[in-house]
Amino acid sequence: MDRLIYSENPEPVTGEEHMRRKTWRSKMPFRSFPQKETSRTTVRKNAYRLSAEEVSQWAQSLDNLLNSKYGLTAFRLFMKSEHCEEIIEFWMACEKFQKIKSRSKLRSKAKRIYEKFIREGSPKEVNLDYRTKETVDQCLMLPTQTSFIAAQNKAYHLMEHNSYPRFLESELYCRLCELAKRE
């Protein structure tokens, strides 16, 4: 590139080479995209089909929704559309936190969760009451896998009584139900 900018006499480019440089398909990232749909690409697209039974189970309980990989994804999309994704992100961070075994990792992850979701004015502050925040503050002195249980339960309660019923009434969920019935 420097040669083209600073050179007084750049090397001439033939018409064919010029066209090859301009063609987006010749660029490396696009070489792997299929040019047309083949039976191989069709199989890859439809490798997993959402069943009507799975989608209907999401309506039975929030636990069923959160324990389904695709249900969790759909719920996160819905929460994002409602501008309250911090609640589900906090809940998920707490789930991962409970699986940590190392004490040093517990301390560092607890601090990151606190800074991101609980601290006053944090970027994704979750709406928690004063008593729950105090409980978390006390638990952070010596963090354990259960340090965020009270706050996580509050977040779950918020989702169960606010976001989850709205999700079940949402256009997204209705469309997923329709798509699953067609399969």
Integer Cα distance of 53 and 32 in angstroms: 35
The per-residue pLDDT for range 20-51, each reduced to its tens digit, is 444 333 333 323 323 334 444 444 454 567 88
Domain locations along the chain? 52-182
Integer Cα distance of 86 and 116 in angstroms: 9
Provide the whole-model pTM.
0.71
Which residue, 75, 78, 53, is CA-closest to 180? 53
Q: Mean pLDDT across the stretch 43-60? A: 77
Alpha helices in 49-162 (DSSP H): 52-58, 62-67, 69-81, 85-97, 103-113, 130-139, 149-158
The pLDDT value recorded for residue 108 is 94
Q: Which residues contact 170 (CB under 8 A, 6 or more apart)?
A: 78
Domain over 52-182 is classified CATH 1.10.167.10: yes
Residue 161 clears pLDDT 60, i.e. is over it: yes
